[in-house]
Amino acid sequence: MAPMVLAYIVSIAVALGLCGLLVQVTGGSATKVLSAMLDGSIRDAGAWGLTISTATPLLIVAIGTIVQGKAGMSNIGQEGQFLIGAGGAAFVATRMNAPGFVIITTSLLVGAVAAGIWALLPAIFKFTRKVPEVMSTLLMLFIADQLAQYALTKRWFLASRSTDSRVNNGETLKAGAHMPTFEVFGNAISWSAVIAIVLTIAVGLMLARTTTGFRIRMLGLNERTARRAGVSAALIGGGALVFSGVAAGLAGGIYLTSDIGPGRFTAGISSNLGWQGLLVALLARQRAALAIPMAFVFAALRTGSGYLAATGVDRQIADVVQAMLVLALLVPPAIQAYQEQRRGGAA
């Protein structure tokens, strides 16, 4: 175990070192970048509250991704499911007249259900027509994109009803339709962070301790055995796929109603949160508990990159760091597996 931990440390150090080198070579200062990122994500007043609020949608997407990954499914359309969830939530939130609590709950539910239905289609395609879910979820992501664009051209759908502006934007959310926050040491933290943590614990327990969780894991480890043991691949696997869609949709709704989002539906509202949530799940290596710190790290890179303008280094460096981190965590197990394969012959 110890050499493995060392391998991870070395690999992450190399990845971060390469990113630093990249900044230096292109005329920036790596230490300034690091310092600005830390200011933006943790050190400045209210910064870590912002980072936690940003981590929330990432964590929720990741939790759903972990469940379907455990079941052996490969949904990669979270970005689209997120968009559908945000759109569904916006449709309700901008139309309802009710106390804020009721609006928020209803719109989050509607968004989650809409995304769940969106993810149900690939599940149906897979179990009736054997269409690989990895392709169908990917293709549906782009259809979701166009659907969102279309929705923003129609007033009866999601386009803003109050202005005559030509820019296709969604109706701005009412003040009461925003997720409330609570304050910890001057950091405003969204209540959705609590939802995310509770969801993570619930899913972790469900996977580890319940019959359903056992069935999900069995299906992912060996489909044939699972079928013999009476696990319905369509029900459990499809259910896991739908659950990941629901989670991504919930994340979309939460981002829409949060104070860190644009405050209205836009075509670009998902802003890679779906993809990044998927990466968080990959980094956490399908462990729910690990997803929490990973989501925080990714969120810190997001919030920290907002502070980079002053250093003269382009904020896209945050994307590079994220991808390099994922690659770095893929390398040690890959090399280990390769060595075992060479040594043992048969895997």
Interface residues with another protein (CB under 8 A) are: 22, 26-28, 74, 76, 125, 129-132, 134-136, 138-140, 142-143, 145-147, 149-150, 153, 275, 278-279, 282, 313-314, 316-320, 322-324, 326-327, 330-331, 333-335, 337-338, 341, 346-347
Rg for the chain, CA atoms, rounded: 21
- Decide whether 201 or 330 has the Cβ nearer to another protein: 330
Q: Which residue has the tokens 């690990």?
A: 290
Shortest Å, Cβ 269 to another protein: 16
197 CB burial (10 A radius; 0-12, 13-18, 19+): middle
- Decide whether 23 or 103 has the Cβ nearer to another protein: 23
Shortest Å, Cβ 191 to another protein: 30
Residues 6+ apart with CB under 8 A from 52: 187, 189, 190, 193, 296, 299
Structure-token pair, residue 310: 């002053």
Residues 6+ apart with CB under 8 A from 118: 80, 81, 84, 140, 144, 245, 249
Instruction: Report whether 282 contacts 117 (CB < 8 A).
Output: no
Shortest Å, Cβ 146 to another protein: 4
- Decide whether 65 or 94 has the Cβ nearer to another protein: 65
Q: Count how many Cα atoms sit within 13 Å of the Cα of residue 228 in the half-sphere of its side chain.
A: 4
CA angle 109, 298, 241 (to 5 degrees): 40
Shortest Å, Cβ 2 to another protein: 21
Shortest Å, Cβ 190 to another protein: 26
**Which residue, 143, 149, 146, 195, is CA-closest to 168?**
149
Shortest Å, Cβ 62 to another protein: 14
Structure-token pair, residue 79: 């970005």
- Decide whether 179 or 279 has the Cβ nearer to another protein: 279
Shortest Å, Cβ 157 to another protein: 11
What is the biggest distance separating any 2 CA atoms in the chain, rounded to whole angstroms? 69
- Decide whether 31 or 153 has the Cβ nearer to another protein: 153
- Decide whether 202 or 337 has the Cβ nearer to another protein: 337
- Decide whether 104 or 280 has the Cβ nearer to another protein: 280
Structure-token pair, residue 197: 């943590």
